[in-house]
Chain A
């Protein structure tokens, strides 16, 4: 019986090792999951987008600005529409993004160090809840300025004029995070090429984005 007990104990230890090993390897994965929990509800999933981005090069080209930085705060953002049955009430949350490097920039934009990055506020979560879950890691952000987007659609000048300070991520795929020095792709972005980038060296990724951005600006 004593041997049986020892054998059982050994088996349990083996089981714990087998289970725990991937999890200990995955401390970064846990950080990734924490970050994903923040980002995942902020996208528009069942959406039809006017443009798609089948490669990193296309994403750089489609973004008005590409910056490195960290989020510092969340505040209430613009409110669109109404709660009338025929309308949509969409409330934005405004992420304050402290910019540390402008990889791609548009000279028409105010080059401040703080950039206001809008996301759709999840219906069920308050600004305080979002603030509590604010991820601390650096990321490369691919953003579209709302005034430049309005210009592309030839909207009225008065509409364009109201939108210069607002940015939104490109589709649902505008945030590439640095977790444990590796790139973590946008949560749930649908493109297969995002998986190929996932896990590469973050600094190598930044260099790649810089190279693409500079080649496009030359062109």
Chain B
């Protein structure tokens, strides 16, 4: 009888633990994301204007023809520079950045806008685009990089300011998030352009950790 009791209790405990495990798993929320990369770290990638998605794949075809404000030429030059000198060198990992001369097939549209908010720039999915894939790999195409310079030219009045902002926004298009600390973004987190507390004219590139984050997704 005692053996029967213990075995039945054991089975019952197994059932209970399994129930706890299943329900606990369902209640655990968003999956953990190791590092400052992915579509699910702060605002999950959805149809909201400022949700966080990633590029479809490692190749970013970008279009600069929507830059039409007073600083258009400078913004184009420095955006082109950051694509070429920061992100395209990840080419050995099958990530590339190619400038397109038309918008229709480009993966990133770069614009200059005039909105009364403190944000100097942002990255988002283009209007009407439905994100696809599943976290942390939810992607949308095309993405929009918006430089909010209109009434605020002082935010973009030097090459290094423009390069700093371009570096961060391009990083967002690849799925990089803001670098917060070493646990989130590696040992050199405060050297990255993804680090918000860096100076306005410093931190013009990404770190090895950031590159690895991109590489981990985009290497076949």
Binding site for B on A (CB under 8 A): 3-4, 7-8, 10-12, 14-15, 18-19, 40-41, 43-52, 54, 78, 80-81, 83, 85-90, 120, 122-124, 144, 146, 149-150, 153-155, 159, 163, 166, 168, 170-171, 188, 190-192
B163-220: which have CB < 8 Å to A?
A: 165, 168-169, 172, 178, 180-181, 196-197, 200
Count of A-B contacts with CB under 8 A? 153
B51 at the interface (CB under 8 A from A): yes
Beta-carbon nearest neighbor of B42 in chain A: A188
| A86/B115 contact (C-beta < 8 A), A12-B19, A153-B152, A153-B154 known | no
Asked whether A45 lies within 8 Å of B116 as measured between CB atoms, the reply is no
B90-118: which have CB < 8 Å to A?
A: 103, 109, 111, 113-118
User: Cβ of B103: which chain A residues have Cβ within 8 Å of it?
Assistant: 85
Asked whether B12 lies within 8 Å of A47 as measured between CB atoms, the reply is no
Asked whether B12 lies within 8 Å of A8 as measured between CB atoms, the reply is yes
User: Cβ of A15: which chain B residues have Cβ within 8 Å of it?
Assistant: 15-17, 19-20
User: Cβ of B122: which chain A residues have Cβ within 8 Å of it?
Assistant: 44, 46-48
| A49/B114 contact (C-beta < 8 A), A3-B5, A191-B180 known | no
CA distance A81 to B116 in the complex (A): 10
Asked whether A44 lies within 8 Å of B119 as measured between CB atoms, the reply is yes
CA distance A154 to B181 in the complex (A): 33
- Least Cβ distance of B158 to chain A in Å? 13
- Least Cβ distance of A65 to chain B in Å? 15
Asked whether B118 lies within 8 Å of A123 as measured between CB atoms, the reply is no
CA distance A214 to B48 in the complex (A): 39
CA distance A146 to B151 in the complex (A): 12
- Least Cβ distance of B30 to chain A in Å? 11
User: Cβ of A83: which chain B residues have Cβ within 8 Å of it?
Assistant: 127
Interface of B, helix, strand, loop or mixed by DSSP? mixed
Contact of B121 among A43, A48, A149 (CB under 8 A): A48
- Least Cβ distance of B196 to chain A in Å? 5
- Least Cβ distance of A40 to chain B in Å? 7
User: Cβ of A44: which chain B residues have Cβ within 8 Å of it?
Assistant: 50, 117, 119, 122
CA distance A113 to B144 in the complex (A): 39
Asked whether A46 lies within 8 Å of B16 as measured between CB atoms, the reply is no
| A163/B116 contact (C-beta < 8 A), A12-B15, A54-B197 known | yes
CA distance A60 to B133 in the complex (A): 40
Beta-carbon nearest neighbor of A33 in chain B: B29
Chosen A-B contacts, 24 in total, with CB atoms closer than 8 Å, are: A4-B11, A7-B5, A7-B11, A7-B12, A11-B9, A11-B13, A19-B19, A19-B20, A41-B48, A44-B119, A45-B52, A47-B50, A50-B155, A80-B115, A80-B116, A81-B115, A85-B66, A85-B103, A86-B68, A90-B49, A122-B48, A124-B47, A155-B152, A188-B43
Asked whether B8 lies within 8 Å of A168 as measured between CB atoms, the reply is no
- Least Cβ distance of B197 to chain A in Å? 5
Asked whether B121 lies within 8 Å of A47 as measured between CB atoms, the reply is yes
Asked whether B66 lies within 8 Å of A168 as measured between CB atoms, the reply is no
- Least Cβ distance of A201 to chain B in Å? 26
User: Cβ of A10: which chain B residues have Cβ within 8 Å of it?
Assistant: 12
CA distance A78 to B114 in the complex (A): 13
| A90/B115 contact (C-beta < 8 A), A7-B9, A12-B16, A123-B49 known | yes
B76 at the interface (CB under 8 A from A): no
Asked whether A171 lies within 8 Å of B111 as measured between CB atoms, the reply is no
